[in-house]
Amino acid sequence: MTPFLPQRPNYRGESIPVGAGVFFVVPALALLVGLAVLTELRRPALLHAFAIAAFAALGLLDDLRGSRAHTGLRGHVTALVRERKVTTGLLKLVGGAATGVAIAWLARPRFPEALLDGALVALAANLINLLDLRPGRALKGFALGALALVPAAGFPGMLPLIAVMLPAAGYAPADLRARMMMGDTGSNALGAALGVTAVLHLEWGARLAILTLLLGLHLASERVSFSRVIERHPMLRFLDQLGREPR
C-alpha cells in the first residue's frame, strides 16, 4: 500500500508504515501556497509552508534513516561524544534549531527575540514529536494547541493553521486505528505549525511563558515517561484513548 515508506513496529508490536505524515503534509503545503496566492495572508502562509516543509523533511530523514538505538537529547549527544556518531536525531536537532531561528527572524527580525522565538518553534515541533507514542496522541496535542491559539490568532489569522488542520483531520482515522504512524515527518510539521502561529500572534510575555513551559516539558521528558503520566491520570487517560480502537 505504501511501498516508499519503511515499516516499523508500533506500540502493539504490529509492523505498520512510518512517516505517513507525508499524506497530510503535502496537501497542507498545497493549501498554504493557495492561501499565499489567493489571499492577503501571503507572509504568514509562506512562513507556515516553510516551517512545515523544513521540519517535515528533517523528520522524514529520521523516519527513513534513523535508528531507535539513541533517543532523546541525552541519547543523541551521548552518541556524538562517546561514539563520535552523528545520528539523524542530532541532525534533526541542529537543523530544527537553525530552521526555527530562520523562521523567527523572518517573522520578527530583532535580536535576541529571534533566538528565543526560534527556540519556541523548534521545541513546539519536538513536543508534538514526543507525544507521538500512541495512536492519535500527537493529533490531539496539536488540536489542543490550536484551540488555545484561536483567541490570539482570530480570523483570518487562523487560516494558515486551518490549512494544516484539514488534511491532518483527513489522515486522523488511519492514525487512530493504528494503521499508520505519522512519524517525525508528521509530528514535527504539526508542532512547527503551532510554533509559527504562536510567534506570529502572541505578545512577547505570552511567548516567553510558552517557551519556559516547553523547556520544562522537555527537561521532564528526559526523566519521566509521558505515557506513564497519562496512564495514571483518569482524565488524561480518557482523552488519550478517545477514538482509538481497543486493543
The DSSP-derived string for 69-93 is TS-HHHHHHHHHHHH----HHHHHH
Q: Is residue 173 part of a domain?
A: no
Q: Compute the average pLDDT of residues 236-245.
A: 89
Tallying the residues shown for the chain, one arrives at: 247
Number of H helices, E strands in the chain: 11, 2
Residue 193 and residue 158 in contact, taking contact as beta carbons nearer than 8 Å: no
Residue 67 and residue 159 in contact, taking contact as beta carbons nearer than 8 Å: no
Q: What are residue 7's phi and psi, to 5 degrees? A: -100, 140
**Lowest-confidence pick of 79-88, 200-209, 214-223:** 79-88
247 CB contacts (<8 Å, ≥6 apart)?
12
Band of pLDDT at residue 14, cut at 50, 70 and 90: confident
Can you tell me the distance from the alpha carbon of 126 to that of 79, in angstroms, rounded to the nearest whole number?
Answer: 19
Q: Which helix (H) or strand (E) holds 129?
A: helix 113-131
Confidence check: pLDDT of 81 > 60 = no
- Domain of residue 157 covers 16-165+179-241
Can you tell me the distance from the alpha carbon of 175 to that of 184, in angstroms, rounded to the nearest whole number?
Answer: 13
To which residue does cell 497530510 refer?
Answer: 24
Q: Is residue 7 part of a domain?
A: no
Q: Is residue 11 part of a domain?
A: no
Confidence check: pLDDT of 71 > 90 = no
Q: What is the pLDDT of residue 9?
A: 84
Q: Is residue 2 part of a domain?
A: no
Total domains, the chain: 1
Q: Is residue 174 part of a domain?
A: no
Confidence check: pLDDT of 185 > 80 = yes
Confidence check: pLDDT of 182 > 60 = yes
Average pLDDT, the chain: 89
Q: Is residue 117 part of a domain?
A: yes
Handedness of CA 226, 214, 166, 28 (dihedral sign): negative
Q: Give 24-43 pLDDT, tens digit per residue.
A: 999 999 999 999 999 999 99
Q: Give 99-139 pLDDT, tens digit per residue.
A: 999 999 999 998 889 999 999 999 999 999 999 989 999 99
Q: Is residue 4 part of a domain?
A: no
Band of pLDDT at residue 74, cut at 50, 70 and 90: low
Max CA-CA distance within the chain? 52
Helices 183-201 and 137-157 cross at an angle (nearest 10°) of: 30
Q: Is residue 5 part of a domain?
A: no
